[in-house]
Structure 1
Amino acid sequence: MTLLAILLGTLVAGIGSVWLAAWLSFGVISRYTQHMLSLAAGALLATAFLHLLPEAFESGIEAHALFMTLLLGLVFFFLLDKAELWHHGHEHNHQHGHHSAGHLHAEEDHPSHAHHTHTPSRGPVGQWAVLAGDSVHCFGDGILIASAFMADMHLGWLAALAVLAHEVPHHVGDLVVLREGSGNRQAAVLKVSMAGAITALGGAVGYVLVDALHDGLPYFLVVASSSFVYVALADLIPQLQKRLTARETAAQVMWLALGMGMVMLVSAFVHTH
């Protein structure tokens, strides 16, 4: 009975948060597509620095070990991105090298914005980094939910709802990155949903090995953080550095702050309930 509850709770948290994020990013706020990458960058950075890393460091594990994990994670995702670029470059050898090595550009919904997006994108930039980090993060969430259910059924459902709530803002960012890389909304939702389903795997494994895995949870959190930091700083933020008018720059900053604010508000709500 406990295992069934864990599986249901982790699926609700893992996949439910993706679908809710998809409804938000592709429905309610889809008209603001040109600003979504700013929002995504803010959400990913805030998730890493205000939620995952503080939780990891509160575990009592030596800071040096966690910082080393963060550094190795950043290097790993850099190398993963380079391998992705190399593969992409060989598949599209007719494109100019300096364009295929550049950063992705958001597609605009209106022709009037075309002058902002004339540079070719490099394709599926950062997708594997996002999915790998998301999978690790979701696996860790599954262990957390399993631990809560094994302590108390009521606490388990509260933990599942808390995970669902705090996953939505950064899943919005994930979906934007994947959609801009592939241009396919359904494929983006499917890929992130598959990563979200890893939450159930984490819950099942946690049910069997909860004590052993719980000790490694801070490292899972740091590795997930490294993927979000890398994608935000290497793939998203550089696009915000282009020369714009003061009004356009203010809009970028506002959406970046909005992404951070979403995560801060949800985290504050979760920790007070």
Structure 2
Amino acid sequence: MDLLLYIIIFTAIGGVLSVLAAGIFLLLPEPHRNRILPHGISFAIGALLTVSFWGLIPHAFEEAKPDQLQSLSGTILIGILLFFILEKLLIWRHCHSHSCEAHLDDGHDHHDHSHGRRSTGVLIILGDSMHNFVDGVLIAAAFLTDTHLGIVTSLAVAAHEIPQEVGDFAILLESGYSKGKALFYNILASLTTVIGGVLAYFSLEDLHDLLPYFLTLAASSFIYIAVADLIPSLHKKTDIKTSLEQIALILAGVLLIFSLHGLAHDIEIDGPSVAASH
């Protein structure tokens, strides 16, 4: 089979398959989903932060050239600031001609909060798209090294994406998206895996130089979402039982991503490094 066709098929598996597997969450009856959603938010915090600090950022610095290290740190800072500005612009747009303070003064703070949550959904889709694009580059690089390595890498990517995608569905539903739209936008974001793989096939060497910046931008988006949007929502309930549940689920997200990431991280690091030298 042609190598490009392999890359297209397995980047689709690595991206779309993980979304469809996580989409089983959407099949649950609405009362069950509503009970699970707050727990999914806590889990998503642990997953997003672990993907960022244990996977994306270390990977970016390992792939970077020595003269890129300082600029990569700056990219994380700039990325967080850019996502703050983007979210602010999204909220302003949804407020239309009324200021958010006016909504609060008139007792309509639910309008502001709902659009603030929707902006979080937009950010998670953008961050996921960048992350998936990088996954596509990594899968293609592995295939260019060895076909079997490419297959294993795509399956590893799908495996460590599934728990993160479950968290993403929880965030999108909490942000006001319907089940259909949450699934549609997540699948759309997953298709950037295929785009990354195809572009890498034709110009891997050029993309390899930009790879660390894609990784740090994806990380900055996930960090911003977890810290600025999701963590504050957990402070609305302060009773001991709920707080302990939140902590436990955050740790569960950390541990699951940590354990699943081990194999994928080792394979992905080896793949691009060898392929880039071809």
> Do these two structures clear the TM 0.5 threshold for a shared fold by scoring above it?
yes
What RMSD in Å do the two structures reach over aligned CA positions? 2.4
Shift of 1:272: 6.7
Match of 2:20 in 1: 19
Give 1:220's aligned amino acid: F
User: Quick check: 3-12 or 160-169, which moved more?
Assistant: 160-169
Amino acid at match of 2:73: F
Counterpart pick for 1:270 among 264, 267, 270 = 264
Q: Deviations over 1:201-236 (max 9, x none)?
A: 111111100111112111111000011001111110
**Equivalent position of 1:193 in the other structure:** 187
Q: Please list every run of 5 or more consecutive structure 1 residues that lacks an aligned counterpart in the other structure.
A: 105-120
CA 1:165/1:25 → structure 2, altered by over 3 Å: closer, same or farther? farther
Which of 49, 59, 68 aligns to 1:45? It is: 49
Percentage of identical aligned residues: 37
Who is 2:271 aligned against? none
SS of alignment partner, residue 242 of structure 1: coil
**Is the contact made by 1:85 and 1:100 (CA closer than 8 Å) also made in structure 2?**
no
2:103 pairs with one of 74, 96, 101: 96
- Taking the TM superposition and a 5 Å limit, the aligned residue runs for 1:1-273 are 1-24=2-25, 27=28, 30=33, 31-61=35-65, 62-90=68-96, 96-97=103-104, 99=109, 122-271=116-265
Q: With structure 1 as the length reference, what TM-score do the two structures score?
A: 0.86
Helix, strand or coil: the match of 2:90?
Answer: helix
Task: For structure 2, list consecutive stretches of 5 or more residues without a partner in the other structure.
Answer: 268-278
The structure with the greater share of residues assigned to helix is 2
Deviations 1:9-40 (A, max 9, x none): 00001111111122247549845223111111
Aligned residue identity for 1:80: L
Render the CA deviation track for 1:173-222: whole Å, top value 9, x for unaligned. 22111111124112111101100011001111111001111121111110
1-side partners of 2:142 and 2:173: how far apart? 34
1:109-168, Cα deviation, whole Å (9 max, x unpaired): xxxxxxxxxxxx744131221111111111111111111111111111011111111211
Tell me how far 1:262 sits from its aligned partner. 1.5
Structure 2 length normalisation: TM-score? 0.85
C-alpha separation in 1, matches of 2:210 and 2:110: 38
Distance in 2, Cα, partners of 1:82 & 1:167:
28
- Give, in angstroms, the shift of residue 244 of structure 1: 1.8
